[in-house]
Amino acid sequence: MATKRTPEEVWNHLEQEAAEDEIEQGALVGVAQAEKELAEAGFDVEAEREKARAWVRELQNTPAGQSLKPPVALSHIRSLRPRPPRPVILWIAAVVVVLVLGAEWLSLTISARNGRRAGASHEGAGGPGRPAE
């Protein structure tokens, strides 16, 4: 039997799917489009390529086991694309939570009604309409 997911688990799953969708969309962007977006974000693409080439040359000339400083501090790395607002994801998550809670409520209501009917319909040990022996 599958365990029920909490609303937090459902939310995390939806966020993970959205991130995977963004990765897939990013993989579809061509080099020319990526260069255009980088230039629009204020990057000098050729200068960045030269930094990368210099770092690769430094890697090739560095003895094994010696640590190497990355060309850019990790604290300076930021997303090039601004994250668009995600109201659709929020609405989907809200709908999913409402549906899960509604289904749980409905399930409990139906099982409670069936439980009362089953207990009330047995008139004796012999079942409905039959006297106890």
Instruction: State the pLDDT at residue 70.
Output: 65
Rounded-to-integer distance, Cα 114 and Cα 106, Å: 12
Mean pLDDT per segment of 10 residues, for the chain of length 133 residues? 83 88 83 86 89 85 72 59 67 84 87 70 52 53
Structure letter (DSSP) for residue 85: P
Taking the model in full, what pTM does it have?
0.34
Angle between helices 31-40 and 45-61 (to 10 degrees): 110
Instruction: State the pLDDT at residue 30.
Output: 86
Q: Where are the chain's structural domains?
A: 7-120
